A = this chain, B = another copy of it.
Amino acid sequence: MDSKALWQRYCDFVQFYPEVQFSIDISRMRFAPNFLETIRPRVLKAFSDMQALESGAIANPDEGRMVGHYWLRAPELAPDEKLRTEIAQGITELQRFAAQVHSGEVRPEKGGRFENVLLIGIGGSALGPQLVSDALWHQSDPMKMFFCDNTDPDGIARTLTQLGDDLAKTLVIVISKSGGTVETRNGSLEVARAYEAKGLKYGPHVVAVTCEDSKLDRQAKSEQWLRQFYMWDWVGGRTSIFSGVGLLPAALQGIDIEQFLEGARAMDRITRIEEPLRNPAALLAQMWYAAGDGKGLKDMVVLPYKDRLMLFSKYLQQLVMESLGKEHDLDGKTVNQGIAVYGNKGSTDQHAYVQQLRDGLNNFFVTFVEVLQDYTASSENVSNMEVEPGVTSGDYLNGFFQGTRRALFEGGRDSITVTIDELNARTLGSLIALYDRTVGLYATLVNINAYHQPGVEAGKKAAANVVELQKQVLEELARFRGGNERKTADELAAAVQRPDEAETIYKILEHLAANPQRGVERSGDRGPTTSTYRMV
């Protein structure tokens, strides 16, 4: 295609959405000439499924649940008055709470003002808040954000070390829908211990975000936590950013959550338009389908040319892969669906893996995110300096983006470009809402349930089994503690009557033996059949 034809294709296939300050360019996607026509019936089906979902249908059949994340930013659309009131009140309440914290009306046990937020959560209860915090951070924010998003004790210790004595001025948010997320429970226990080690009570420093009457809710009540904010079972973790999960930390950080919600609301409006090419989410969903033939045959590489959006690729990785990575379709057929997503940021990644994108395996399509305005309205230390006569650092960033888009296309690699005029709470809200909808529509195109995560359970159950086995092994080791007897993993597996679990037990023993305070000592030649263990 010569440059004139390509320019014409660009003019034909770039769509502007002035309501949200977005444009989307699909001119660099090589879909078949009749693709848009053949996919059309499925897209129309996706629109009608989406309409049913938004009206409160059981859109998550496996779990028998409604799917309501669109109501969070437009409570008037929720299917009944009770929900409408709860959602609207929830937002008002958390805004009031944030104002009370900022004013010092809600203050730490020992006085002063809460200056930091420590969010404890994992997956959907951490990644969204991390993205929002990083994308919209400014020096003048009233509170500084910290995160515990794993059950790595060293990782938790590190965050506590960074907080140091400021823990006394730190407000903790524990987020778990069910309250049964073990990683989050462990994080909260470790952090509570750190407060107590400093002679502080945990309760007056901590709030919960959870479902009403969950395990966490009951704990918060019985331990007299500062307060609870409620969410609902019809909000999935990966789409919970517009519930208290995302809004409470954002409001505390000083982010304009009204604008954030308004951005999502505005995007939701235009992604309800039932015209396959006028609806930006439908446009993206169709391109995903075209790229991977509806089977995820191409990985999606997400490249925002903007440092503040570096976590966006990780956010999409979670949203897309957890929503679309499914074994069965809605008819119960085995389909092993999904789209693999990765990426960091441009132009940095050009010095990392773009070599492979350009020359290597053509097993991907790129989504570029371009932000036209070089600084945010609140950026500090704005230089606007010319690094060459008439050229700024931002011009180079734009140049590298354009250059890579071109070089990839010339090499036969496809890309979508999402362009945003500027990055702020409103456009970030729009960006997230765009992909909420895209994932939902794409799920209909490939006939899957985007709103459950059955595969997560297997790993959790297997983990619980490991912890349970460890208890048995420790009991068995305690039986001959201090003596000269030593047993191999095989012998211990036999002793606890789990000969099928010798390997798991061996790996448990290796972990225990590497941590001297656990009192398990290893001897003998190192190896699964030769190492022996005893408790000292």
* A112, CB-defined interface residue at 8 Å: no
User: Is the Cβ of A322 less than 8 Å from the Cβ of B352?
Assistant: yes
User: Is the Cβ of B360 less than 8 Å from the Cβ of A336?
Assistant: yes
- Measured CA separation A304–B392 after assembly (Å): 39
User: Is the Cβ of A186 less than 8 Å from the Cβ of B462?
Assistant: no
Each complex incorporates copies of this chain amounting to 2
Interchain residue pairs with CB less than 8 A apart (12)? A153-B393, A153-B397, A183-B400, A185-B387, A321-B356, A325-B358, A340-B356, A341-B353, A358-B456, A400-B463, A403-B458, A404-B462
User: Is the Cβ of B526 less than 8 Å from the Cβ of A18?
Assistant: yes
- Measured CA separation A60–B393 after assembly (Å): 33
User: Is the Cβ of B157 less than 8 Å from the Cβ of A137?
Assistant: no
* A161, CB-defined interface residue at 8 Å: yes
* A464, CB-defined interface residue at 8 Å: yes
Chain A contacts with B in 141-199, Cβ cutoff 8 A: 149-158, 160-162, 164, 181-183, 185-187, 189-190, 193-194
- Please tell me which stretch of A71-79, A248-256, A269-277, A510-518 contacts chain B, meaning at least 4 of its Cβ atoms lie within 8 angstroms of it: A510-518
* A263, CB-defined interface residue at 8 Å: no
- Please tell me which stretch of A35-43, A406-414, A428-436 contacts chain B, meaning at least 4 of its Cβ atoms lie within 8 angstroms of it: A406-414
Nearest CB in chain B to that of A152: its residue: B307
User: Is the Cβ of A515 less than 8 Å from the Cβ of B373?
Assistant: yes
* A44, CB-defined interface residue at 8 Å: no
Which residue of the partner chain, among B6, B152, B396, B501, contacts A186 with CB atoms under 8 Å?
Answer: B396
Nearest CB in chain B to that of A358: its residue: B455
Chain A contacts with B in 378-406, Cβ cutoff 8 A: 379-385, 387-400, 402-404, 406
* A259, CB-defined interface residue at 8 Å: no
- Measured CA separation A487–B158 after assembly (Å): 57
Which residue of the partner chain, among B155, B327, B389, contacts A359 with CB atoms under 8 Å?
Answer: B327
* A299, CB-defined interface residue at 8 Å: yes
Which residue of the partner chain, among B152, B514, B529, contacts A393 with CB atoms under 8 Å?
Answer: B152
Q: How many residues of A contact B (CB 8 A)?
A: 159
User: Is the Cβ of B338 less than 8 Å from the Cβ of A380?
Assistant: no
**Nearest-CB distance from A432 to chain B (Å)?**
15
User: Is the Cβ of A361 less than 8 Å from the Cβ of B322?
Assistant: no
* A467, CB-defined interface residue at 8 Å: yes
- Please tell me which stretch of A120-128, A202-210, A220-228 contacts chain B, meaning at least 4 of its Cβ atoms lie within 8 angstroms of it: A120-128
**Nearest-CB distance from A423 to chain B (Å)?**
8
**Residues in B neighbouring A7, C-beta threshold 8 A:** 502-503, 528
**Nearest-CB distance from A202 to chain B (Å)?**
13
User: Is the Cβ of B306 less than 8 Å from the Cβ of A154?
Assistant: yes
User: Is the Cβ of B422 less than 8 Å from the Cβ of A380?
Assistant: no
User: Is the Cβ of B396 less than 8 Å from the Cβ of A182?
Assistant: yes
Which residue of the partner chain, among B362, B403, B419, contacts A460 with CB atoms under 8 Å?
Answer: B403
User: Is the Cβ of A340 less than 8 Å from the Cβ of B299?
Assistant: yes
* A308, CB-defined interface residue at 8 Å: yes
- Measured CA separation A122–B528 after assembly (Å): 43
**Residues in B neighbouring A526, C-beta threshold 8 A:** 16, 18
Nearest CB in chain B to that of A18: its residue: B526
- Measured CA separation A360–B337 after assembly (Å): 5
Which 4 residue pairs across A and B have the least CB separation, nearest first? A325-B356, A123-B351, A325-B360, A155-B307
User: Is the Cβ of A403 less than 8 Å from the Cβ of B161?
Assistant: no
**Residues in B neighbouring A395, C-beta threshold 8 A:** 467, 470, 511
User: Is the Cβ of B337 less than 8 Å from the Cβ of A361?
Assistant: yes
**Residues in B neighbouring A344, C-beta threshold 8 A:** 314
- Measured CA separation A398–B183 after assembly (Å): 12
Nearest CB in chain B to that of A9: its residue: B503
User: Is the Cβ of A186 less than 8 Å from the Cβ of B353?
Assistant: no
Highest count of chain B CB atoms <10 Å: which of A373, A395, A502: A395
**Residues in B neighbouring A346, C-beta threshold 8 A:** 150
Which residue of the partner chain, among B352, B383, B511, contacts A394 with CB atoms under 8 Å?
Answer: B511
Chain A contacts with B in 453-486, Cβ cutoff 8 A: 453-456, 458-467, 470-471, 474
Which residue of the partner chain, among B157, B187, B467, contacts A391 with CB atoms under 8 Å?
Answer: B467
User: Is the Cβ of A16 less than 8 Å from the Cβ of B527?
Assistant: yes
**Residues in B neighbouring A499, C-beta threshold 8 A:** 4
Which residue of the partner chain, among B2, B4, B358, B393, contacts A459 with CB atoms under 8 Å?
Answer: B358
Nearest CB in chain B to that of A344: its residue: B314
**Residues in B neighbouring A306, C-beta threshold 8 A:** 152, 154-155
- Measured CA separation A462–B351 after assembly (Å): 15
**Residues in B neighbouring A187, C-beta threshold 8 A:** 393
User: Is the Cβ of A324 less than 8 Å from the Cβ of B360?
Assistant: yes
Which residue of the partner chain, among B299, B406, B422, B459, contacts A354 with CB atoms under 8 Å?
Answer: B459
User: Is the Cβ of A150 less than 8 Å from the Cβ of B347?
Assistant: yes
User: Is the Cβ of A381 less than 8 Å from the Cβ of B160?
Assistant: yes
* A497, CB-defined interface residue at 8 Å: no
Nearest CB in chain B to that of A470: its residue: B395
- Measured CA separation A340–B364 after assembly (Å): 9
* A376, CB-defined interface residue at 8 Å: yes
